[in-house]
């Protein structure tokens, strides 16, 4: 792995982009790697305000999740530079944990499934704040679905803006439903609803969604992310897509979605399983149901059915679609973004 960090990205000037190269990674026909992590130290003495992130890969990159983390030796700093095993941590004594990275650092970028070039561009003045002495760590999922060997290079580019131009700081929000089990030879739908006001710190909900991204695999046919109105009059859509993998599954919201007047979020994922076996949560041949976004909340949020992959229960039938609704939301967590 070669990493190029261009100087001059302090708080008074934007400076040139920061460009990082990883790989290339060789994959044999049909090979899958879900245990690849990469890390690079930024060596930043000033706070960085990241306004855009661009990832350029190649066929074979299934998806990737990128985080900034504090460069401390106790939790993240001892991960080696370059590539390493996520599960083993290459001598760290503990695996790389994406949820821990999101809560104690922050989400930097999430790639649309199987897109080989993806850019996350915030509007002028919006930025992700990365404090001094930070690192970038990512979990990369590689999958060679072809019948020939391939090589997968990977490049990440960060653009920054000066602090004086920052008007809004972005913080990550993720919601997921692990309790999915796609019945064979039919379409299905899985819904989970969470009351955000039930977070342990009673954090206020007066924030906006500026960005949203869906994540599912080859059996996914759509995702809808909604906010339920407090007065019971209905729901409002934050983000909805029926794009399939290989297309962009997210983007900026124009205008931003206003959470004021809504205390509940509802996540619905749609699938079509043509096979003769049930498909559950997982990589490779498994499925996922995740919505991710950026807000101007001073907190990083996670919510959903996040602690279980149990049987989703008995569905109802909706025009031939098996419709599953989670009996409860198992977690709502808000942690200060600072």
Instruction: Please say if the pLDDT value at position 150 is more than 90.
Output: yes
Q: Convert the pLDDT of each residue in 266-294 to its tens digit.
A: 999 999 999 999 999 887 678 889 999 99
The separation between CA 82 and the C-alpha centre of its own chain, rounded to angstroms, equals: 21
Query: For residue 62, what pLDDT band results from cuts at 50, 70 and 90?
Result: confident
Domain boundary among 147, 167, 187: 167
Q: Which of 167, 199, 219 is the last residue of a domain?
A: 167
Q: Looking at the structure, tell me whether residues 150 and 268 fall in a common domain.
A: no
Better pLDDT: 122 or 327: 122
Mean pLDDT value across residues 112-133: 90
Residue 102: pLDDT band with limits 50, 70, 90: confident
3-state SS class at 27: strand
- Is 308 found in the same domain as 176? yes
Identify the bridge partners of residue 155 per DSSP, sorted by sequence position: 21, 56
Name the DSSP letter for residue 141: E
Same domain? For 119 and 100 the reply is yes
Average pLDDT, the chain: 87
Element (H, E) at 49: strand 48-56
Q: Are residues 146 and 176 in the same domain?
A: no
> Which 8-state DSSP code applies to residue 131?
-
**Does residue 71 carry a pLDDT above 90?**
no
DSSP 231-284: TSS-EEEEEEE-PPBTB--EEEEEEEEE-TTEEEEEEEEEEEE-SSS-EEB-ST
For 224-240, write each residue's pLDDT tens digit.
Answer: 999 999 998 999 999 99
Phi, then psi, of 197 in degrees rounded to 5:
-70, -10
The upper half-sphere exposure of residue 253, i.e. CA atoms within 13 Å in the direction of its Cβ, equals: 22
184/330 same-domain check: yes
pLDDT in the model for residue 145? 86
Tell me which residue range forms the domain holding 136: 2-167
In this structure, the answer to whether residues 308 and 211 fall within a common structural domain is yes
CA 219, 221, 227, 229 dihedral sign is negative
**Nearest of 308, 318, 285 to residue 182 by alpha carbon:** 285
**Do 162 and 240 belong together in one domain?**
no
- Sequence length of the chain is 338
pLDDT at 335: 84
Of 118, 137, 167, which residue is a domain's last? 167
Residues 157 and 181 in one domain: no
Six token digits for residue 74: 């106790």
CB atoms under 10 Å from CB of 275, counted, come to: 11
Q: What is the CATH number of the domain that holds 31?
A: 2.60.120.310
pLDDT at position 284 is 67
Q: How confident is the model at residue 173 (pLDDT cuts 50, 70, 90)?
A: very high
Q: Is residue 165's pLDDT more than 50?
A: yes
**Are 157 and 174 part of one and the same domain?**
no
What local confidence, expressed as pLDDT, does residue 248 receive? 66
| Share in percent of the chain as helix, strand, coil (round to 5) | 5, 55, 40
For the chain, the domain total comes to 2
Rounded CA Rg of the chain: 20
Give the pLDDT band of residue 77 (cuts 50, 70, 90).
low
**What is the DSSP track for 50-113?**
EEEEEEE--TTEEEEEEEEEE--TTTTTTSPSEEEETTTGGGTSS---HHHHHHHSEEEEEPPT
| 177 and 152 in a common domain | no
Q: Residues 134, 145: contact at Cβ < 8 Å? A: no
**Over the stretch 137-147, which tens digit does the pLDDT of each residue have?**
999 989 898 89
Between residues 226 and 76, which one has the greater pLDDT?
A: 226
pLDDT band at 91 (very low <50, low <70, confident <90, very high): low
Check residues 40 and 63 and name the one with the higher pLDDT: 40
Q: What is the percent of the chain with per-residue pLDDT over 70, rounded to a whole number?
A: 90
> Do 177 and 159 share a domain, yes or no?
no
C-alpha–C-alpha distance, residues 169 and 291, integer Å? 20
pLDDT band at 200 (very low <50, low <70, confident <90, very high): low
Residues 143 and 266 in one domain: no
Question: Does residue 184 register a pLDDT over 90?
Answer: yes
Q: What percent of the chain has pLDDT over 90?
A: 54
Q: What is the pLDDT of residues 9-52, one digit of tens each?
A: 445 666 789 999 999 999 999 999 988 999 999 999 999 999 99
The CATH code of the domain that includes 241 is 2.60.120.230
């Amino acid at each position: 792995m070669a990493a190029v960090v261009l100087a001059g990205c302090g708080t008074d000037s934007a400076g040139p982009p920061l460009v990082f190269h990883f790989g290339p990674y060789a994959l044999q026909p049909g090979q899958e790697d879900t245990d690849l992590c990469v890390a690079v130290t930024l060596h930043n003495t000033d706070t960085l305000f990241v306004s855009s992130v661009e990832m350029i890969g190649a066929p074979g990159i299934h998806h990737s999740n990128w985080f900034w983390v504090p460069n401390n030796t106790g939790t993240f700093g001892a991960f080696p530079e370059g590539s390493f095993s996520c599960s083993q941590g290459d001598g760290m004594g503990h695996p790389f944990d994406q949820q821990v990275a999101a809560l104690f650092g922050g989400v930097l970028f999430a790639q649309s499934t199987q897109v080989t070039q993806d850019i996350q561009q915030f509007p002028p003045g919006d930025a992700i704040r990365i404090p001094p002495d930070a690192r970038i760590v990512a979990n990369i999922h590689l999958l060679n679905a072809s019948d020939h060997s391939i090589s997968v290079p990977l490049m990440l580019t960060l653009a920054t803006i000066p602090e004086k131009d920052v008007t809004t700081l972005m913080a990550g929000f993720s919601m997921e439903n692990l309790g999915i089990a796609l019945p064979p030879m039919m379409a299905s739908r899985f819904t989970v609803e969470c009351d955000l006001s039930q977070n342990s710190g009673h954090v206020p909900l007066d924030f906006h969604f500026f960005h949203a991204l869906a994540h599912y695999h080859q059996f996914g046919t759509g995702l809808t992310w909604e906010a339920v109105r407090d007065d019971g009059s209905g729901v409002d859509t934050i983000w909805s897509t029926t794009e399939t993998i290989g297309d962009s599954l997210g983007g900026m919201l124009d205008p931003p979605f206003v959470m004021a007047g809504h205390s509940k979020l509802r996540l619905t994922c749609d699938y079509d399983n043509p096979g003769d076996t049930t498909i559950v949560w997982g990589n490779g041949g498994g499925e996922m149901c995740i919505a991710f976004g950026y807000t101007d909340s001073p907190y990083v949020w996670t919510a959903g059915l996040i602690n279980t992959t149990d049987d989703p229960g008995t569905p109802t039938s909706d025009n031939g679609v098996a419709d599953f609704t989670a009996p409860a939301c198992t977690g709502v967590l808000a942690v200060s973004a600072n």
